[in-house]
Amino acid sequence: MKKLALFLAIVSLVPMLFACDDNSNTSSAATSDTSSEAINSEVSEDVSNEVSAEESIVVENPIDELEPSPMTIQKNDDRTYTITSDVFGGTYKRTFYKRDWGTWNIGGMFFTPEGGSQITFVTASTDWEYVYRAGKTASTIDFCGGNHGSEKMLETHFYNGETGDELNLDDKQPVELNLLKIVETTQIYYFESDEDIFANVTRTYYYNGTEEICECDYEIVQDTYFTLSYPTMFPISKDYGTRIVYNLENGKTREWTSSEVGKADYSGPMDKGNAAMSVTIFGHKDPRYQFNVAIYDKEDMTDNFKNAEKTFYWDMNVGQNKLYFSRFSSSTPELVKTGTTWHTLASWEFNYVGDAVYEESGTN
């Protein structure tokens, strides 16, 4: 895949020292990042490195490049589907999880090497797709959507991504396929009332054996005020996510390293202000496991990086970090008018780089 090759070329520019080959997971499960005070905490001192890239980052549409690969999907129960594939000499498992308020979200991410124990990369405790700070007035703005509720599911359908046939998963038997497509329609409402809808949303998910893509189409159905919001995120265990490499718009890469054990009160530093539409993340425990995350619509997802926060990485808690692509100001509400439409597109890819090494760096 062109995109994967480009990511690997960028990562190879960053010297690293090999970490121990220990597949056990001791990171703490994260909780939802619901505190606006935590999100707006001070930026940490910059301890990153910046190096020149050989060429500018060219971001392509990931749906066109998604390669079919064998996997299975199975309904476990009324709240969980499991997507499983055999890759990189082990079993890769992802969950699609139903929240208490009814929407289906990307859930956990796990890998079991052959002959080894299961590694937890991501728990189902926080969100990936999006979360918006929105309000009917500039003085009533609060978190809406994603892991913060204030969103209701209208319908969800599962399809074979190659044939277009709808899947019947109610018998809880595994279904083999090479591409998976999920279409979910939702409505986001102001936190005060589940009948006060401000956005209609269609989410379309695409899966192959190592990658998931989320395409969202929004229609704003009443005038709404927004402040700092997150059209795409990625939570990751610190063991496998202490290092981030930003692929900057200026054609350079920049790296930043979090603590290996963070703060329980969610007061850890945030590395803000990176004009990057794609990143690679890996960790000190075993840097061979890597995660490529990208967005593909700079205007609708970041408003062309106008805000101060831009793309940032949060040293979130004891056992987990989190990536954010952001839009809107943290201090000045912006009015979005009725009839506005947005199209967002993001991808998350799991990769294994057999010769990757990890160089110790300054931590925050």
pLDDT value for 57: 46
Q: Decide if 362 is inside a domain.
A: no
Q: What are phi and psi of 63, to 5 degrees?
A: -65, -40
CATH code of residue 14: 2.70.98
pLDDT value for 143: 95
pTM: 0.85
Q: Decide if 364 is inside a domain.
A: no
Report whether 136 contacts 150 (CB < 8 A): no
Q: Which domain holds residue 26?
A: 2-352
What are the structure tokens assigned to 334, written together?
Answer: 């912006």
Report whether 12 contacts 54 (CB < 8 A): no
Q: Decide if 20 is inside a domain.
A: yes
pLDDT value for 61: 86
Q: Decide if 360 is inside a domain.
A: no
Q: Decide if 359 is inside a domain.
A: no
pLDDT value for 146: 84
* Size (the chain), residues: 364
Q: Which residues contact 138 (CB under 8 A, 6 or more apart)?
A: 225, 333, 335
Write b or e for each residue in 234-272: b if 16 or more Cβ atoms lie within 10 A of its Cβ, otherwise e: bbbbbbbbbbbbbbbbeebbbbbbbbeebeeebebbbbb
Q: Decide if 128 is inside a domain.
A: yes
Domain count, the chain: 1
Report whether 169 contacts 163 (CB < 8 A): no
What are the structure tokens assigned to 182, written together?
Answer: 């999920």
Report whether 75 contacts 169 (CB < 8 A): yes
The sign of the CA dihedral 152, 155, 158, 162 is negative
Report whether 177 contacts 166 (CB < 8 A): no
Write b or e for each residue in 171-210: b if 16 or more Cβ atoms lie within 10 A of its Cβ, otherwise e: eeeebebbbbbbebbbbbbbbeeeeebbbbbebbbbbbbb
Q: Which residues contact 299 (CB under 8 A, 6 or more apart)?
A: none
pLDDT value for 193: 82
What proportions of the chain, in percent to the nearest 5, are helix, strand and coil?
10, 45, 45
Residue pLDDT tens, the chain, 364 long? 444 444 444 444 333 333 333 333 333 333 344 344 444 444 433 444 444 433 434 457 899 999 999 999 999 999 999 999 999 999 999 999 999 999 999 999 999 999 999 999 999 778 899 999 999 999 999 999 988 889 999 999 999 999 999 999 999 999 999 999 999 999 999 987 889 999 999 999 999 999 999 999 999 999 999 999 999 999 999 999 999 999 999 999 999 999 999 999 999 999 999 999 999 999 999 999 999 999 999 999 999 999 999 999 999 999 999 999 999 999 999 999 999 999 999 999 999 999 999 987 644 5
Nearest C-alpha neighbor of 349 from the set 289, 291, 277: 291
Cα distances (angstroms) measured from residue 298 to each of 28, 179, 303, 312 = 33, 27, 6, 15
CA 48 to CA 257: how far, in whole Å? 7
CA 260 to CA 27: how far, in whole Å? 9
